[in-house]
């Protein structure tokens, strides 16, 4: 029976909310970002919760007991849009500290999340090393790339998720059942702020439409006629989506949408909703955390819905094993 979890690399606590939706209780969180921790406390009404800080300094002597470890460990070093430095980057070493904590604390299970690019990084050697490390820490491990688009939010966010169970509980989890796909909801229900594009951003968009890739393809007036469409100024080319938004990223602005022939800019609160945070949570940070920071923090977060679905699958799987 799973009852408690510890939220490592907690960010703004999307993983926390996902597991709380499964009926589990958070016994602590760990993150080094002051700004993210401020948002975390507001979102979760957790003003008095202890942030245990840098997980590199944490272990059996200064952590509470918990049944499940969850962490969206740093992904910049494995991302296809980064330098893909992997384990050579200090951020890429976090997985080894998580593995050490697993060895020392021996929780029943874990859920880890990272970018899809991790699967192919260094021709598959990186993920093989991670699996070996987790196995040696005493856990049977399985993983799968899942899109948030199939889990109840209209966001094209592909991430790799690892599930591990302590070997004395289950020596092999090859028969672990991952969540089934959910029908994609209507995007318009996630975009309600209607913040019209600011003049400075409109000027940037106009300049963007004139770059060597986009020149002559669209005018601003053309875009204003694309009602219901999502506009993504990713890298050099303009990408247009219908009924879904591209992956939210911490270091990328420039997602817009068109409604009633008006171009609106995606807000931080809308980004949180696209990551699965309910409106009541979003209202706790509205006007208290800047749009810029919310966009960045949402881009770094896990998707609440995905964690809820995986968490429930894990709970059900362990119940079946216990009944046997």
Residue 317, both tokens: 């799987």
Give the active site residue among 75, 109, 151, 170: 75
**What does DSSP assign to residue 308?**
H
Helix axes 94-105, 125-136, angle to 10 degrees: 20
Task: Report the Cα 141 to chain-centroid distance in Å.
Answer: 20
Q: Do 36 and 297 touch, CB atoms closer than 8 A?
A: yes
**CB-based contact 190:273 (threshold 8 Å):** yes
The continuous run of DSSP H or E covering 144 comes out as: strand 139-147
Look up tokens 């931080």; give the residue: 268
| SS percent in the chain: helix, strand, coil, step 5 | 40, 20, 40
Nearest CA to 159 out of 233, 79, 253 is that of 79
Annotated catalytic, 22?
no
Q: How far apart are CA 29 and CA 55, in angstroms?
A: 10
Torsion over CA of 122, 125, 130 and 133, rounded to 10 degrees?
-140
- Whole-angstrom Cα distance, residue 29 to residue 84? 27
Structure tokens at 236: 């050099």
Q: What CA–CA distance (Å, rounded) separates 303 from 305?
A: 6
By annotation, the residues acting in catalysis are 75
């Amino acid at each position: 029976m799973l009852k408690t979890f510890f939220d490592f690399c907690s960010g703004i606590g999307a993983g926390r909310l996902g597991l709380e939706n499964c009926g589990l209780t958070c016994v602590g969180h760990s993150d080094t970002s002051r700004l993210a921790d401020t948002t975390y406390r507001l979102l979760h009404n957790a003003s008095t919760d202890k942030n245990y800080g840098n997980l590199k300094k944490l272990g059996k002597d200064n952590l509470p007991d918990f049944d499940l470890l969850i962490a969206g460990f740093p992904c910049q070093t494995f991302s296809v849009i980064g330098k893909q430095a992997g384990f050579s980057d200090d951020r890429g070493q976090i997985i080894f500290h998580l593995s050490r904590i697993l060895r020392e604390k021996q929780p029943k299970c874990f859920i880890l999340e990272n970018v899809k690019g991790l699967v192919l990084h260094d021709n598959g050697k990186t993920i093989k090393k991670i699996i070996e490390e987790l196995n040696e820490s005493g856990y049977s491990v399985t993983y799968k790339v899942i899109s948030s688009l199939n889990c109840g939010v209209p966001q094209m966010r592909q991430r790799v998720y690892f599930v591990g169970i302590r070997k004395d509980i289950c020596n092999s989890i090859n028969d672990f059942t991952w969540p089934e796909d959910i029908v994609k909801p209507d995007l318009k229900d996630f975009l309600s702020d209607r913040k019209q594009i600011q003049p400075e951003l409109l000027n940037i968009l106009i300049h963007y439409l004139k770059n060597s890739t986009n020149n002559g393809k669209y005018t601003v007036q053309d875009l204003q006629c694309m009602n219901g469409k999502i506009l993504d100024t990713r890298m050099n080319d303009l990408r247009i989506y219908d009924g879904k938004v591209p992956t939210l990223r911490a270091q990328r602005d420039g997602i817009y949408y068109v409604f009633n022939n008006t171009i609106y800019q995606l807000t931080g609160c809308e980004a949180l909703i696209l990551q699965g945070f309910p409106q009541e949570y979003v209202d706790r940070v509205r006007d208290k955390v800047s749009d810029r920071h919310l966009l960045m923090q949402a881009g770094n977060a896990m998707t609440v819905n995905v964690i809820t679905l995986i968490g429930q699958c894990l709970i059900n799987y362990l119940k079946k094993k216990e009944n046997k």
